[in-house]
Amino acid sequence: MKIILKSLMICSLLFLGVASSKGRSNEEQIGKEWVRMVEHKGGRFHEKRLQRLCQELELSKEQEEKVSQVMKKGWERIQKEMEKMKERVLAIKKDSDRQIEKLLTTEQLEKFKELKEETKRGKEKRIKKGYKKSEE
């Protein structure tokens, strides 16, 4: 259970980091790609975990069906919470960036924006790379 929670937290943080990278439209596109990748991996994770539980606990078909439904409902709840958290974190990130920008000189502000853009491109690459791996 701890491993599952850690994995979900890592996914959440990565998702939030990706989603906070730039303007809303680009941010939404990156977020959608990330969600698609996480959902794909989540589906595979669900299958593997269910298979292991069936094997280790010798679940009956009826138990397997019920356990599968519980896991699916749990995943749906986790996704909703991740979305709520993403929105709150984005708001904090934007506010922090605005405060930082007020403190910078014109030259520093340009460099700050460049650094944010570099970070965004790096995250996009990691998303593409991660999604390709999850398709295999």
Domain ranges of the chain: 2-135
Q: Span 62-85, mean pLDDT?
A: 90
Q: How confident is the model at residue 1 (pLDDT cuts 50, 70, 90)?
A: very low
pTM assigned to the model: 0.50
pLDDT of residue 10: 55
Q: Per-residue confidence at 44, pLDDT binned at 50, 70, 90?
A: confident
Dihedral, CA of residue 20, residue 22, residue 24 and residue 27, to nearest 10: -60
With 90 as the cut, is the pLDDT of residue 38 above it? no
Taken in order 96, 97, 99, 104, the sign of the CA dihedral is: positive
Of 20, 39, 5, 43, residue with least CA distance to 93 = 20
* Sign of the torsion angle spanned by Cα atoms 45, 9, 74, 93: negative
Average pLDDT value for residue range 10-18? 51
pLDDT (tens digit, 9 = 90+) per residue, 85-123? 888 888 999 999 999 999 999 999 999 999 999 988 888
Q: Give the mean pLDDT of 114-133.
A: 81
38 vs 4, residue with greater confidence? 38
pLDDT digits (tens, 9 = 90+) for 72-81: 898 889 888 8
**b/e per residue, 3-24, with b = 16+ CB within 10 A?**
eeeeebeebbebbbbbbbbbee
**Residue 131 burial (C-beta neighbours within 10 Å; 0-12, 13-18, 19+):** middle
